[in-house]
Amino acid sequence: MNEDVTFYITRHGETLFNLLEKSQGWCDTPLTQKGINVAELLAKGLRHIKFSAAYSSDSGRAIETAKIILSVNDFQPIKLQQDKRLREWSFGSLEAITNKDLA
């Protein structure tokens, strides 16, 4: 029996470093109010989707975004699974420099 599988892939909401236009790989800055608001809008749009699993990286910004989305879902709550292999790439010594300087 073939069953279709649909993946919903999202990016975390806007963070402080996004706002300051700084590189952010493994650096983890909090979501801004705008980032929270956008995640809440996304959550409303996805609230009627019955997820069978949910995954995020282990970064705070990704976890917070995923938890916002799952918090309003109309179906049985599922456990958010965190995996460091889903992290963004590390910029090493270039973390937190301006995007202009990174370019």
Return the pLDDT at 97.
93
pLDDT (tens digit per residue) in 48-85: 999 999 999 999 999 999 999 999 999 989 999 999 99
Q: Where are the domains of the chain?
A: 16-101
Is 7 one of the annotated binding-site residues? no
pLDDT at residue 96 is higher than 90: yes
Return the pLDDT at 79.
95
For residues 44 and 16, what is the distance between their CA atoms, to the nearest angstrom? 23
Element (H, E) at 55: strand 54-56
- Which tokens go with 78? 């599922």
Is 11 one of the annotated binding-site residues? yes
Q: List all residues 6 or more positions away from 69 whose beta carbon is below 8 Å from its beta carbon.
A: 10, 39, 42, 43, 46, 54
Q: Is 88 a catalytic residue?
A: yes
Domain range 16-101, its CATH number among 1.10.3720.10, 3.40.630.10, 3.30.470.20, 3.40.50.1240 = 3.40.50.1240
Is 14 one of the annotated binding-site residues? yes
